[in-house]
């Protein structure tokens, strides 16, 4: 489990620093084998995407809202994870 802890830290740090070639290869190899870390990476990517969208809109009336499809997908994912 500590291996996954290290990998999630690397995934989180990717926006602040670049990984070496061997760190990237290690990360990619782990992500191929570990579904939990892949899910973490996907969730973090989604959060960052929405945060960037929110921050890029200066006028509050122009802030994008989640589509019905996005809301449904998020709700379903939360329900699946809570079981």
When comparing pLDDT for 56 and 77, which is higher? Answer: 77
CA 45 to CA 40: how far, in whole Å?
Answer: 8
Residue 68's pLDDT band, with cuts at 50, 70 and 90, is confident
CA 34 to CA 28: how far, in whole Å?
Answer: 10
Each residue's pLDDT tens digit, 11-57: 988 878 888 999 999 999 999 999 999 999 999 999 988 887 766 65
Residue 31 phi, psi (nearest 5)? -65, -30
DSSP 60: G
């Amino acid at each position: 489990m500590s291996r996954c802890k290290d990998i999630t830290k690397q995934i989180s740090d990717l926006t602040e620093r670049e990984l070496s070639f061997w760190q990237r290869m290690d990360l990619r190899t782990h992500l191929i084998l570990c579904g939990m870390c892949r899910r973490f990476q996907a969730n973090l990517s989604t959060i960052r995407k929405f945060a960037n969208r929110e921050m890029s809109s200066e006028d509050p009336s122009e802030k994008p809202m989640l589509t019905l499809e996005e809301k449904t997908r998020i709700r379903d994912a939360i329900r699946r994870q809570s079981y």
